[in-house]
Amino acid sequence: MASLSQSQLIAAPSTTFSLCSPRTSSGLTIRPRRSTVHQRVSCASSRGERSSEPDTSRQHDRRDVLLGLGALGAGATFMPARRARADPVATPNVSTCGQADLPPGANVSTCCPPPSNALPVDFAPAASLSSTPLRTRPAAHSVTADYVAKFNAGIAAMKALPASDPRSFAAQAAVHCAYCDGSYSPEGFPGVELQVHNSWLFFPFHRCYLYFFERILGSLVGDPTFAIPFWNWDAPDGMRLPAMYADQSSQLFDPRRDARHAPPKLIDLDYNGTEPRFTDSQQIDHNLRVMYRQMVSLSPTPSLFFGSPYRAGDDPNQGPSPVENIPHGPVHIWCGDPKQPSFEDMGNFYSAGNDPLFYAHHANIDRMWSVWKGLDARRHTDLTDPDWLNASFLFYDETPKLVRIRVRDVLDTGALRYQYQDVPLPWKAARPTVTATATRRADSLVTPAAKAAGGATKKASKFPVTLDEATSVTVRRPVGSKRSKAEKESKVEVLVIDGIEVGRDVAAKFDVFVNAEDHGAVGSGGRELAGSFVNVPHRHAHGGHGKERGIKTTLRLALNEQLEDLKAEGDESVEVILVPRQGKGNVKIGGVRIELMH
Ligand code: C2O
């Protein structure tokens, strides 16, 4: 893995990039470069030919290297190359689907879809909006008995189809596994893993997946208006496992769930594998503050909300969006059965689609995309980068034929002919609050008394560090004075934790505190908690990185609102504390810095 010393990290210029790629006057798109550190041409090889030397260039965009080679000839010293064409990630024909890397004791044997004799057709939106019925996805806790009966009949019909039928429940569940556990490579990049998590593909991939699942279900029950429910975990009435999924005689029940979390247990949207000691009202308050933090504080711009760019040829896991980390990850882990070998079903990506609850969880994730756009019509827009808009996936529809659908096809749920039941957003008013006894200013913190009060926290002297205990680091800010609202809007101050490495099959979570005198004293939903990183276990057919075969990724946490609330906008630096919560000792951190980001 990359072993960058702290001095290299500090010396490396901050890369500030926007998802709207700058265009030159000639119309060429210049891609923002991921890293300027130690490019090595030998790392330009595909994954299969990966050099065994320490790879310090893996954050670098591989296609730049490939074009650089073409322009300069093999053996030339690497020079950054301009790329003249866009490279969206595309799913290759399903016949290329390979064996997924399944954990020991896996309850499925393959993740590949049934083969198709025909080539995929391009997705065609509804020809006429007015004559295509609109489906309204209901909140799962509020549905009628008739709805539950119809939904059960649909899932029963799906389960009754043989796995060789792409509409079957088994084949539908496998779709997720294939896209998450290494069965595909992006078209044109054999040997490189195609991964739909931990990047800007997260929201659109899952939207497409649910869209076809819903069409299949509607056709099996003979009702083109039938809509899947969403698990409304962001509002108090929806913060329990919805009753229809908990009924053991139902098609919606899955025995591979954490039995402790059956109703009336309240969900912890910040779950880390340990049962929280909250009262019900504290838990609800905590969940609402978590929702505010993820949807508002951490998601001020499209580039932050959607997650990091991920283009064909890039290493996967460029960086998850705030919502993908939380609540998406903890909800998976909260549902999965800790008594199963790999937290099946919901607690591992290969098996998550086997639980009917998955689709309700993801419907609410998908709803968050729509909700976020509605929070601020001016700033909360979809991305405009062509490599995002043109990324494409393959799905079977209800007929069943193989369809290629692009991200640009799914930006408007109205055009896809579905919407969500309008329900309240109580978290909009739940801005986290400062814990009076827990905040400190970086300027004033070095007194021995303050140190003692901080509890067991080790000071990181150099990176990378293995996160086996709470670890603190002082991080310089790129701005040391208060900025105007307009300045803050145009450039968001972002805490970047990169070179995060997690072993495969490891459920991991760490929390990131800023200016917390005593992180243990931070109250539920406290402002000192900047955010968290969460890994839902999954594997990679192509081997991941190094011996650990884990993922390597980056966490980006917008700081603007937090620094305002902590009254730290005038400080030269902040004190960051990383606290491992789950998977202790299995997470490595490459470095911590603050950047300004569009
Ligand atoms: Cu594709 Cu919730 O995971």
For 119-153, the pLDDT digits (tens) are 999 999 988 888 999 999 999 999 999 999 999 99
Shortest-distance atom of ligand 1 to CA 332: 2
Percent of the chain with pLDDT over 90: 66
Cis peptide before 264 (omega within 30 of 0): yes
Using CB atoms within 10 A of its CB, is residue 330 exposed (0-12), middle (13-18) or buried (19+)?
A: buried
Atom of ligand 1 nearest to the CA of 180: 1
Q: Which helix (H) or strand (E) holds 278?
A: none
Q: What single-letter DSSP state applies at residue 297?
A: I
d(CA 391, CA 400): 22
Closest ligand 1 atom to the C-alpha of 179?
1
Query: Residues 356-409: pLDDT tens digits?
Result: 999 999 999 999 999 999 999 999 999 999 999 999 999 999 999 999 999 999
Helix (H, G, I), strand (E, B) or coil at 378: coil
Model confidence pLDDT, tens digit, residues 406-420: 999 999 999 999 999
Ligand 1 within 6 A of CB of 207: no
pLDDT at 171 over 90: yes
Evaluate: CB of 346 within 6 angstroms of ligand 1.
no
Q: 349 CA to middle of ligand 1, Å?
A: 6
pLDDT at 540: 58
- Please name the residue whose Cα sits nearest to atom 3 of ligand 1: 349
Q: Which residues contact 531 (CB under 8 A, 6 or more apart)?
A: 293, 294, 298, 322, 325, 326, 511, 512, 555, 557
pLDDT, tens digit (0-9, with 9 covering 90-100), for 535-557: 988 875 444 443 346 889 999 99
| CATH 1.10.3470, domain 458-597, yes or no | no
Residue owning tokens 């076809």: 212
Q: How far is the CA of 362 from the centre of ligand 1 (A)?
A: 7
Domain spans of the chain, in order of start: 94-429, 458-597
Q: 456 exposed, middle or buried (CB, 10 Å; 0-12, 13-18, 19+)?
A: exposed
The stretch 425-439 carries a mean pLDDT of: 86
Which residues form the catalytic set? 176, 197, 206, 328, 332, 349, 362
* Amino acid letter, 492: V
Say if strands 587-589 and 465-466 run parallel, antiparallel, or are unpaired: antiparallel
Residue 224 Cα, ligand 1 centroid: separation in angstroms?
26
pLDDT recorded at residue 86: 52
Asked if the model's pLDDT at residue 85 lies above 60, the reply is no
Architecture of the domain whose range is 94-429: Orthogonal Bundle (1.10)
**Looking at residue 518, what is its pLDDT?**
87
Length of the chain (residues): 598
Q: Which residue has the tokens 């819903």?
A: 214
